[in-house]
Amino acid sequence: MASSFYLTTIAAAIGFFTLLRKLRVHQDNQEKKSSSSSPSSSSTSSLSLSSVTPPSSSSRNWTYHVFPSFRGEDVRRDFLSHIQMEFQRMGITSFVDNEIKRGESIAPELIRSIGESKIAVVLVSRNYASSKWCLNELVEIMKCREELGQTVMPIFHKVDPTDVKNLTGDFGKVFRRTCAGKTEQDIWRWRQALAEVATIAGYHSTNWDNEAAMIKKIATDISNILINSTPSSDFDGFVGMRAHLEKVESLLCLHSDEVRMVGIWGPPGIGKTTIARVVYNQLSNSFPLSVFMENIKATYSRPTGSDDYSAKLQLQQMFLSQITKQKDMEIPHLGVAQDRLKDKKVLVVLDGVNQSVQLDAMAKETWWFGPGSRIIITTQDQKLCKAHGINHIYQVDFPPDKEALQIFCMYAFGQKFPKTGFEELARKVTNLSGNLPLGLRIMGSYFRGMSKEEWKKSLPRLKTSLDADIQSILKFSYDALDDEDKDLFLHIACFFNQREIKIVEEHLAKKFVEVRQRLNVLAEKSLISFSFFGTIEMHSLLAKLGGEIVRKQSIHEPGQRQFLFNEEEICDVLIGDAAGSKSVIGIKFRYRIEEEFDLSERIFEGMSNLQFLRFICGRDTLQLPRGLNYLSRKIQLLDWKYFPMTCLPSIVNVEFLIELNLKHSKLETLWEGIKPLQNLRRMDLSYSVNLKELPDLSTATNLRKLILYGCSSLIRLPSCIGNATNLEDLYLTGCSFHNQKIILRFGKCFKLNQEARDLIIQTPSREAVLPGREVPAYFTHRATGGSLTIKFNERPLPRYMRFKACILLVNNGDYEAPDRDNKWLHISFGVRSRTSGETISPCLTEHLYTFEIEAIVASSELVFEFNVKYRNDWKIGECGLRSEVLHVVDGHE
């Protein structure tokens, strides 16, 4: 959405802060619970955005995280030393009293240290009460608990808390001996302290079988207390955020069990996403399931006239995948969301909603979600909320002049007020920025670090070139760039917004020197940001600014511009009287009309510098009945959804091709022969249902991603795919291969991620080779060496069984043989007297080889033997089997 750019970087930085968890800081210290009820202390959730004032203990400056009170002769050498070591490992600062001489009365420096510790750990052992020093320590600790809000955590080490409370058993005997000759006042104070500490829920060693686990749990809980009690940094740098959250909280009505939808509405750049992000980060830990669907209108928009049902299905699939954290979830119909979530308490933020279909797919009705659920929608369209029945809407207004100045100063000076001597200049710039938070941020970032003279020199141009129009404010920041950075800005605004940083760098590396450094410059000037997912994000207003700048390159002849992206103007260039020229380097054509029209075979003539081509259209809308007789040899990106031809024309030069995206195409084959593909990084042919085979990809050595989802007619993968040593992602789901068994060879493709490796293992294939150091768990029967036994318990026994086999080779020598001697191995395998064989290649260690086996089941036990034939330098290191679908009993399958 438009406001996602405003503070997108800051919103990402929120994740690095410890956000309010809505947890009261260990209410155990205020509750009188039986210590035997739980081995650990508890905390109580509080769903509240406005109760951000921390307890008094959180606002103090503590010297130590932990003050331990203990009887040294009982625990110093074992339990205490171990827990101190765990504290040190977890970065918890503990007070150490080795240099303090113990005596009858507690030392002043010890009293001071107790008061300067955030948490007091009282290690109550058998002889704890034998020490007057320990008892006086405990009295002081309980005093700090009451007066300073100090957290007290008792640990009952080999002693019953009931004996501590009632002063019974051996503990009571020890205490009474200590009391001999002491004043009634001292005895009363000690009794009170022991009774009080015994009622605090703590840790009881008899409840733990493993002392190491207990120590780790204690240290972890202390660490969590320290985190949760740290004063919140949510509002640092967010001027006026507290007021926003108080208003949102009143609409959320968090203590109600009703399911409530709340809208956050306002113009682009006003801060809607930032407010929603802070709300989400503060509340998400209090909900079993939560999701922040960011910038929906840019990511999940539906072209006008497209199929509503398909759009909803895709949206709901993405929504459920993210909220359940189940990657690549596939759903068959639209009833899944309400079925999965109707009894779940969820927190959902739908950010940047601009179409009703988005709400219908992800949050159509409140009864889709369990009691207490909250759904927050940010949008620029108030009518959209009303139409969906959302009556609780927070309108985000422009900040008043005082807050606007503070926002500007935060980015210009790093503080909420101007530096001395800059007061009047800061007010002038703030006024010229129109109080839009986005504009204030951009202008503040621009002026940051400038001298007073530089401010004065910039102001006249700012006054003349800018007015109240938001676009003009953004244009000022653009004008401050050098020519190279301006050009990069236009490339991102018109073509590469929300694209992966790495792929953008590859596309622009030859055009811009040190492209990553230049991207960083744009980020520093708040013109772009880098998302958590590794993409470049530019605010929609800035993207519109870039489009307007390009439009003015040639107002009346769009074919003379650098980029074409307006639908009507592209139609004029491609099928009208206008013509494209060598000025055009990129075309992004989103054709939303369902009307079909034919493209001329000469549409790209004259565009000799065309590098980036993206056609996003509906099925059968754009046709090339006479083919294509020209396409720039400089083409780097060819992205054409529903590409209408059965084969790429021979005139398409792929030498500089980096991305080839032809989803839902009519392709049957790409091209014949071998082509230079050294620059190719990504190929997406998903759902090209007529595609029967891939061309020779032996030169695609830098290919990183190959997507073949739903290519149901694909006959085989070329064996030379193994040359793609940089391959990271391979997607084959939905490739039936006409039920023919293919060969998959990925020798030395060590960069294959685990998902790709699992997919290769599970894909039906005659044989496959891929990197691996052990037989995976997918093979339900595994053994070291080449012998494996399978027993059958079912009756009657199946007559035939089909298995997928997996072996791991081991080289008997010190090194693998040279490639010329390493072409193949013959593997024999057999069940009892029946033997068969399989030839595998290449021969590699740290690789898995899979193939199929069929066996006759003559008894309830099958013994498989795998051996390497004709070679003494190789043997079987591991083997595995998994039964396949063939089960024949009495002649019937």
Average pLDDT over residues 312-333: 84
Q: Which amino acid is at 357?
A: V
Of 69-83, 632-646, 723-737, 858-872, least confident by mean pLDDT is: 723-737
- From residue 39, how far is each of 1, 44, 218, 758 by CA, in Å? 48, 16, 9, 41
pLDDT at 822 > cutoff 60: no
Q: Which of 25, 40, 42 is nearest to 227 (CA)?
A: 25
Who wins on pLDDT, 65 or 801?
65
Average pLDDT over residues 54-76: 75
Task: Respond yes or no: is residue 659 known to be catalytic.
Answer: no
Q: Which of 420, 422, 425, 427 is nearest to 402 (CA)?
A: 427
pLDDT at site 41: 35
Distance between CA atoms of residues 751 and 726, nearest Å: 6
- The two tokens of residue 786 are 């080449």
Q: 797 and 857 in contact (C-beta within 8 Å)?
A: yes
108-142 pLDDT, tens digit per residue, is: 778 888 888 999 999 999 999 998 889 999 999 99
Q: What is the CATH number of domain 645-766?
A: 3.80.10.10
pLDDT at 568 > cutoff 50: yes
pLDDT at 591 > cutoff 90: no
Helix axis angle, 81-89 relative to 211-228, nearest 10°?
40
Secondary structure tally for the chain: helices H, strands E: 28, 31
Please give the class, per CATH, of domain 781-888.
mainly beta
Distance between CA atoms of residues 757 and 776, nearest Å: 10
**143, HSE (Cβ side, Cα atoms, 13 Å):** 13
Average pLDDT over residues 560-581: 80
pLDDT at site 577: 58
pLDDT at site 813: 65
**527: how many CB neighbours lie within 10 A of its CB?**
28
Average pLDDT over residues 405-429: 90
Distance between CA atoms of residues 15 and 34, nearest Å: 37
Helix axis angle, 515-524 relative to 501-508, nearest 10°?
120
pLDDT at site 660: 94
Alpha helical stretches, state H, 697-787:
754-762
Average pLDDT over residues 188-210: 91
pLDDT at 167 > cutoff 90: yes
Give 389-432 as a 3 state SS string: CCCEEEECCCCCHHHHHHHHHHHHCCCCCCCCCCHHHHHHHHHH
Question: 645-766: same fold as 27-228?
Answer: no
Who wins on pLDDT, 360 or 306?
360
pLDDT at site 375: 95
pLDDT at site 159: 92
pLDDT at site 491: 95
pLDDT at 264 > cutoff 80: yes
- Rank 64-78, 427-441, 540-554, 574-588 by mean pLDDT and report only the highest: 64-78
pLDDT at 305 > cutoff 60: no
pLDDT at site 800: 79
Distance between CA atoms of residues 633 and 630, nearest Å: 9
- The two tokens of residue 326 are 């189940």
Residue spans per domain, the chain: 2-11+233-395, 27-228, 401-479, 483-548, 645-766, 781-888
700 Cβ neighbours under 8 A, 6+ residues apart? 677, 678, 680, 683, 723, 724
Average pLDDT over residues 181-207: 91
- The two tokens of residue 106 are 């507690």
Who wins on pLDDT, 34 or 809?
809
Phi, psi of 59 (to 5 degrees): -90, -5
pLDDT at 249 > cutoff 80: yes
pLDDT at 14 > cutoff 50: no
Distance between CA atoms of residues 272 and 353, nearest Å: 12
- The two tokens of residue 264 are 């956050």
pLDDT band at residue 59 using 50, 70 and 90 as cut-offs = low
pLDDT at site 443: 82
Strand, helix or coil for residue 195: helix
Strand, helix or coil for residue 640: strand
pLDDT at site 142: 93
**389: how many CB neighbours lie within 10 A of its CB?**
11
- From residue 46, how far is each of 55, 77, 215, 312, 346 by CA, in Å? 14, 41, 28, 35, 16
Q: Which residues pair with 835 in a beta bridge?
A: 830
Q: Residue 754 burial (CB < 10 Å; 0-12/13-18/19+)?
A: exposed
Alpha carbon of residue 8 to chain centroid: 15
pLDDT at 38 > cutoff 70: no
Give 454-472 as a 3 state SS string: HHHHHHHHHHHHCCCCHHH
Distance between CA atoms of residues 712 and 144, nearest Å: 72
pLDDT at site 292: 94
Who wins on pLDDT, 189 or 433?
189
The bridge status of strand 622-623 relative to strand 597-598 is parallel
pLDDT at site 493: 92
pLDDT band at residue 495 using 50, 70 and 90 as cut-offs = very high
**823: how many CB neighbours lie within 10 A of its CB?**
11
Who wins on pLDDT, 354 or 782?
782
For the segment(s) 27-228, the CATH number from 3.60.15.10, 3.40.50.10140, 3.90.70.10, 3.40.50.720 is: 3.40.50.10140
pLDDT at 450 > cutoff 70: yes
Distance between CA atoms of residues 428 and 441, nearest Å: 15
Who wins on pLDDT, 124 or 13?
124
Over its C-alpha atoms, the chain yields an Rg (Å, rounded) of 35
Distance between CA atoms of residues 226 and 224, nearest Å: 5
Strand, helix or coil for residue 582: coil
Alpha helical stretches, state H, 448-582:
452-465, 470-479, 483-491, 501-508, 515-524, 540-551, 567-575
Who wins on pLDDT, 186 or 467?
186
pLDDT at site 782: 93
The bridge status of strand 861-869 relative to strand 787-791 is antiparallel
Average pLDDT over residues 239-267: 90
pLDDT band at residue 507 using 50, 70 and 90 as cut-offs = very high
345 phi-psi bin (left φ>0, alpha ψ -120 to 50, beta other): beta
pLDDT at site 42: 32
Residue-averaged pLDDT of the chain: 80
pLDDT at 34 > cutoff 60: no
pLDDT band at residue 5 using 50, 70 and 90 as cut-offs = very low
pLDDT at site 110: 82
Who wins on pLDDT, 232 or 545?
545
pLDDT at 885 > cutoff 90: no
Q: Report the topology of domain 2-11+233-395.
A: Rossmann fold (3.40.50)
Indicate the pTM of the whole model. Answer: 0.47
pLDDT band at residue 206 using 50, 70 and 90 as cut-offs = confident
pLDDT at 725 > cutoff 80: no
pLDDT band at residue 194 using 50, 70 and 90 as cut-offs = very high
Q: What percent of the chain has pLDDT over 70?
A: 82
Average pLDDT over residues 531-552: 82
Candidates 137, 140, 294, 838; catalytic one: 137
Average pLDDT over residues 443-461: 85
845-880 pLDDT, tens digit per residue, is: 889 999 888 888 878 888 888 888 777 788 899 999
pLDDT band at residue 268 using 50, 70 and 90 as cut-offs = confident
Q: 641 and 667 in contact (C-beta within 8 Å)?
A: no
Who wins on pLDDT, 715 or 660?
660
Alpha carbon of residue 7 to chain centroid: 19
